Chains A and B, each alone.
Chain A
Amino acid sequence: MARSAFGRWVILTVAFINGFSIMSIELLGGRVMAPYFGSSVYVWGSIITVFMLSLSLGYLWGGKLSTRTPNSRQFASFFVIAALLCLPIIYFADPVMTRIFMTIEDPRYGSLLTAGLLYFLPICVMGMVSPYSVRLMVSSQEGSGGVAGLLYFVSTLGSALGTLATSFYFVLWFNLDQVMWGCVIALLLCALAVMLADRRDSREDAL
């Protein structure tokens, strides 16, 4: 999969935004759940467990998918699906937590189940982005480690900045749902950028 410089820049950018959004959503998760389960240490335990589990399985499945016919359309679809899967966090978090709060007394398992229901699917799909983007950018076996390193660097840097920006500034400037919408829109723009880069690359190929 030969890529233009522009195409590679787009992949690095969307990997950055993906990493940024994951940690932004994780940080907000504590605020989403605090009204029902408190802000005790085990609420954070639940959130981090579910995020790590989702990412690990996302890596596995994303990597697996990339071994078939890797293409930009499928890559873009990850972002669209992740964005759509974030919408229930905005619209259904309260009814979901009310139900769980009524049925499970122990806030440890209540928060764990809530985190699983709300965050497993979107974060899993966002985890699929990482190995898939490696596959799209790698052009030679010797270069594969370098590409993977660069992508880890960019997406983890995004995660660091997403954590910082959300906890220091976003919660001060915006409502919770506004930040969530920001992530949804950012993910959709990622999909758009990937498709545009793909169109450009195939046009150049045709020339």
Chain B
Amino acid sequence: MNKIVLTVLMMVLAWFSFNGRAVAQRTIIHEERSQYRDVVVTEFNNQRCMLFNIHRGDMNQTCIDLRDPKRLVFNYTRMSFAGLLLNPDPQRILVAGLGGGTIPTVMRELFPDASIDVLEVDQAVVKVARDYFNFVEDDKLVNHVVDARVFIKRAGLRGEQYDYIVLDAFSGEYIPEHLLTQEFLQEVSQILTPEGVVVANTFASSRLYDYESVTYQSVFGEFLNFKTAGSGNRIILAKKQNMPSVAELHAPARALYEKLRPYGINFLEYPAQLSTRADWNTSTRILTDQYSPANLLN
């Protein structure tokens, strides 16, 4: 009896707190309790979204369009496929950060023969992705509930190699600082094949832009920077060697254009927006395991 009263009370409280704040127009269809941050699924305007930080405003982690589930809702998600310009036919794919599973799901559809490992530290996110965002695992697409740093370090010790690595573990407000350091990127580089590509979703604004840029530069040398107007995200495309010139990317863009069009990606527009120009302060301090105050710099 007590329990029922308490539950009703909590539901009323939750209703009030949600109602007055950022999600007045949304319907909350599910809440998943997490070891980290509770995961909330909302629906509004035929979009279903996963949120971590419901009380701090619009922190959509990932969204799907319920009318057109193939279409990628977020610009940065579409941008992350620019890595295919550098490696158009990946065989072993690693995705750090699951979210709603959009990136691995699309990669699975695009490259049915490739094997895909996904790393997600939060079991609750995996559950919500399965139940509400059509994330389906099979023998080629496997999710690991593990910290990305731990998995990648171990993969390096086992001598495993990936030819397409997506780093997308930076979610919401808190940045996992141990995934931004020079040592981490060296471990990533160790499991990257000579022709492989690293696609990193990072910050376009804030002081972190300079810090991240010099840190990536210190490990991979010159890289391709992908920014679009109005997006708070910047995609870094890095390789260990043989970075092609932007002019060489038009051919793969044409080749993949039709394949990517159903997802709302206009691949032909991408090469012109890539640049190797260092538009950051090159004397910024490199982030290391000894020095990584990323959350204070954001």
A40 x B153 contact (CB < 8 A): no
A102 x B147 contact (CB < 8 A): no
Contact among B146, B154, B289 with A31 in the assembled complex (CB-CB below 8 Å): B289
Q: Digit string of A36-62 for contact with B (CB within 8 Å is 1, else 0)?
A: 111111000000000000000000000
Interface of A is mostly: helix
Report the nearest B residue to A175, measured CB to CB.
B290
Contact among B146, B157, B178 with A35 in the assembled complex (CB-CB below 8 Å): B178
B121 x A171 contact (CB < 8 A): no
Residues in B whose Cβ lies below 8 Å from that of A168? 296
B150 x A37 contact (CB < 8 A): yes
A-B contact count (CB 8 A): 59
Complex: A162 Cα to B154 Cα, angstroms: 34
B157 x A102 contact (CB < 8 A): yes
Are A176 and B289 CB-contacts (below 8 A) given A36-B153, A37-B147?
yes
Q: Digit string of A104-140 for contact with B (CB within 8 Å is 1, else 0)?
A: 0001000000000000000000000000000000000
A38 x B149 contact (CB < 8 A): yes
A206 within 8 A of B: no
Q: Digit string of B277-293 for contact with A (CB within 8 Å is 1, else 0)?
A: 00000000000111111
Residues in A whose Cβ lies below 8 Å from that of B35? 40-41
Instruction: State how many angstroms separate the Cβ of B32 from the closest Cβ of chain A.
Output: 16
Place the interface of chain A in its size category.
Answer: 10 to 19
B183 within 8 A of A: yes
Within 8 A of A (CB), among B130-158: 146-150, 153-154, 157
Residues in A whose Cβ lies below 8 Å from that of B157? 102
B81 within 8 A of A: no
Complex: A39 Cα to B181 Cα, angstroms: 14
B147 x A40 contact (CB < 8 A): yes
With a 10 A CB-CB cut-off, give which of A101, A171, A177 has the most chain B CB atoms. Answer: A171
Report the nearest A residue to B148, measured CB to CB.
A38
A171 x B178 contact (CB < 8 A): no
Q: Digit string of B67-81 for contact with A (CB within 8 Å is 1, else 0)?
A: 000000000000000
Report the nearest A residue to B34, measured CB to CB.
A41
Are A177 and B290 CB-contacts (below 8 A) given A37-B147, A38-B121, A39-B177?
yes
A34 x B149 contact (CB < 8 A): yes
Q: Digit string of B23-62 for contact with A (CB within 8 Å is 1, else 0)?
A: 0000000000001100000000000000000000000000
Instruction: State how many angstroms separate the Cβ of A76 from the closest Cβ of chain B.
Output: 31
B291 x A175 contact (CB < 8 A): yes
Residues in B whose Cβ lies below 8 Å from that of A172? 293, 296-297
Contact among B147, B184, B289 with A107 in the assembled complex (CB-CB below 8 Å): B147
Instruction: State how many angstroms separate the Cβ of B168 from the closest Cβ of chain A.
Output: 16
Within 8 A of A (CB), among B190-238: none
A101 x B153 contact (CB < 8 A): yes
A38 x B147 contact (CB < 8 A): yes
B252 within 8 A of A: no
Residues in A whose Cβ lies below 8 Å from that of B178? 31, 34-35, 38-39
Complex: A177 Cα to B288 Cα, angstroms: 12
B121 x A40 contact (CB < 8 A): yes
Complex: A192 Cα to B296 Cα, angstroms: 35
Report the nearest A residue to B149, measured CB to CB.
A38
Report the nearest A residue to B290, measured CB to CB.
A175
Residues on A lying within 8 angstroms of B by beta carbon are 31, 34-41, 101-102, 107, 168, 171-172, 174-177
Report the 5 A-B pairs with minimum CB-CB distance, sorted nearest first: A38-B147, A34-B178, A175-B290, A172-B293, A171-B293
**8 CB < 8 A contacts A-B:** A34-B289, A35-B289, A36-B150, A38-B149, A39-B177, A41-B35, A168-B296, A171-B296
